[in-house]
């Protein structure tokens, strides 16, 4: 019997799937202030320009924009501040080993609520070349065209 997931998506990084091949995925907690969580509950988050770095054995996300909570006044934090991600030491070591290889990087894929906790899905990614992106676009166009033809045939 499949367990129902109570994940509620807040932000998705579609650009990451376009620009990178995602090799592995990790789930991390994130250290936030109270007003940031309230803002996330309202869906005010962007991870389009965000990236992740490992510094001194700790993982941080840069460029993640969480809009200030409108009723938060003095308790609001800087929307683009650096935020710490919470992972197990073994996971951090595994990621460090992977990004030491040429061409690998860490990108945030999505931000979501798992129950009452805010989670970030991290992807260990390898950059795509221009021709890889063109192939993906061509495949997507062919699939869209096939679906359109199938839909037209079923209407008659």
Residues 105-134 have pLDDT tens digits of 888 988 888 888 888 999 888 887 777 778
- The mean pLDDT value for 73-77 works out to 72
Predicted pLDDT of residue 1: 47
- The mean pLDDT value for 122-151 works out to 82
Residue corresponding to tokens 């579609």: 14
């Amino acid at each position: 019997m499949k367990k129902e997931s109570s994940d509620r998506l807040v932000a998705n990084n579609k650009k990451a799937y376009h620009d990178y091949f995602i090799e592995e995925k990790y789930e991390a907690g994130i250290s936030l202030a109270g007003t940031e969580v309230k803002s996330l509950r309202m869906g005010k988050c962007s991870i389009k320009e965000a990236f992740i770095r490992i510094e001194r054995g700790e993982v941080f996300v840069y460029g993640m924009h969480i809009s200030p909570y409108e009723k938060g006044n003095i308790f609001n934090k800087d929307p683009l501040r650096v935020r710490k991600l919470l992972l197990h030491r073994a996971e951090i070591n595994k990621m460090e080993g992977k990004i030491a290889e040429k061409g690998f990087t860490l990108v945030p894929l999505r931000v979501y609520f798992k129950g009452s906790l805010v989670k970030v899905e991290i992807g260990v990614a390898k950059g795509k070349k221009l021709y890889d992106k063109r192939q993906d676009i061509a495949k997507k166009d062919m699939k869209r065209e096939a679906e359109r033809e199938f839909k037209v045939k079923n209407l008659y």
